[in-house]
Amino acid sequence: MPENRVARPRRYLVCPPDHFDVRYAINPWMREGVRVDTALAREQWAALVRAYREHGHTVESVEPVPGLPDMVFAANSALVVEGRVFGSSFHAPERRPEAEEYAAWFKAAGFDVHRPVSVCEGEGDLVPVGGFVLAGTGFRTVRAAHHEVQEFLGVPTIGLQLVDPRFYHLDTALFVLDDGAAGGPANIAYHPEAFSPGSREVLRRMFPDAVVATADDALAFGLNSVSDGLHVFVAPAATGLAEQLAGRGYVPVPVDLTEFHKAGGGIKCCTQEIRPAP
C-alpha cells in the first residue's frame, strides 16, 4: 500500500538559458555542431520554473553570462546543506568561470562560500539524503573532494563509483525521492548499471526499497529528476519510471527538457536546491 507522501516547499536557484548552446563536447551527449532551438529551450525551461512555482516552490535566478553556454545547469554550481555552501571547481576549463559567477550570487544572497581545492561539480555529483551525502566519482568530481565535503559539512559522505560515461554525473543515474528530513524513511531511485559492482551493493544495502530504473528510463533522463517528497518533476519519456513512481504514491509531473538533453542535462541539472539552516 502506498504511503502518505507529503510535499515540502523548497528553495531553488536556476539560471535562464539566454546563452545556452552546445559549443564544445565534454560528455557523450554533446555533439559539436548540433543545433539548439533557442526559442524551444527557453519555452521548456520556463515551463520547468512554472511547474515549480505552481507546486509551491520558491525559484530564484542568477544572471546568465555570455560565453558560458552550460551555466544553465545550476546544479553543478554548489552543494548547499543547512545553509552552508560548498562551491564548485569544474573539471572542464570551459566551465571553470561559472564557479565565480555562482559564488558571487551566493555571497550577495548572504552566504559564505567554501571554494573547494579539488575538482568538484556540486549537486551533479553530491547528493544529500538521509543524513549522508552520496558522492559520485569516475568522470568529474574526484575522491579528494568527497573528503573535503565531509570535513566542511560534517556529514558522512558515501563514495560511489560511476562506470558508464553516458551517466557521467551522479545526478544522471540517481535522484532522491525522499530526503528523510520530514522524519520518514529516506529513499532514492537509481539505475544500478551506471555503478561499479561494489557501489551497487552499497546502494542496495542503504536503500533496500529503492525504485530501480531501466536503461531506457535512465537514457531518457528519467533519473535527472527533482522530488519534493510528493511531486516528482520528471522527463515525460521516462514512462516506466513514472508508472513505478505512481505505484509508490508519488505524483509524476512531466516536464520536457529535450533541448537540454543535447548538452547532457535535464531537470535536476537545471536546479540547485538551497537547503536552509536548521
- Interacting residue ranges for ligand ARG, rule: CB under 6 A: 26-27, 30, 70, 73, 75-76, 95, 124, 169, 171-172, 263-265, 269
Q: Give DSSP secondary structure letters for 166-220.
A: GG-SGGGTEEEEE-STTSS--EEEE-GGGB-HHHHHHHHHH-TTPEEPPHHHHHT
Specify the residue, 141 or 157, whose C-beta has the smaller distance to ligand ARG. Answer: 141
Cβ neighbors of 164 (< 8 A, separation 6 or more) are: 173, 193, 194
Specify the residue, 75 or 78, whose C-beta has the smaller distance to ligand ARG. Answer: 75
CB of 171 to ligand ARG, least distance (A): 5
Which amino acid, residue 208? P
Specify the residue, 96 or 147, whose C-beta has the smaller distance to ligand ARG. Answer: 96
CB of 169 to ligand ARG, least distance (A): 4
CA 267/CA 226 separation, integer angstroms = 7
Specify the residue, 101 or 184, whose C-beta has the smaller distance to ligand ARG. Answer: 101
Length of the chain, please?
278
Query: Could you tell me the three cell numbers for 213?
Result: 530504473
CB of 205 to ligand ARG, least distance (A): 25
CB of 153 to ligand ARG, least distance (A): 19
Specify the residue, 5 or 233, whose C-beta has the smaller distance to ligand ARG. Answer: 233
Task: Report the residue number whose CB is nearest to ligand ARG.
Answer: 269
Catalytic residue chosen out of the listed positions 169, 191, 231, 261 = 169
CB of 172 to ligand ARG, least distance (A): 5
* Nearest Cα residue to 88 out of 128, 131, 138, 148: 148
CA 129/CA 181 separation, integer angstroms = 8
CA 247/CA 1 separation, integer angstroms = 9
Catalytic residue status for 269: yes
Contact 213, 240 (CB under 8 A): yes
Catalytic residue chosen out of the listed positions 15, 120, 269, 270 = 269
Catalytic residue status for 169: yes
Catalytic residue numbers, as ranges: 169, 269
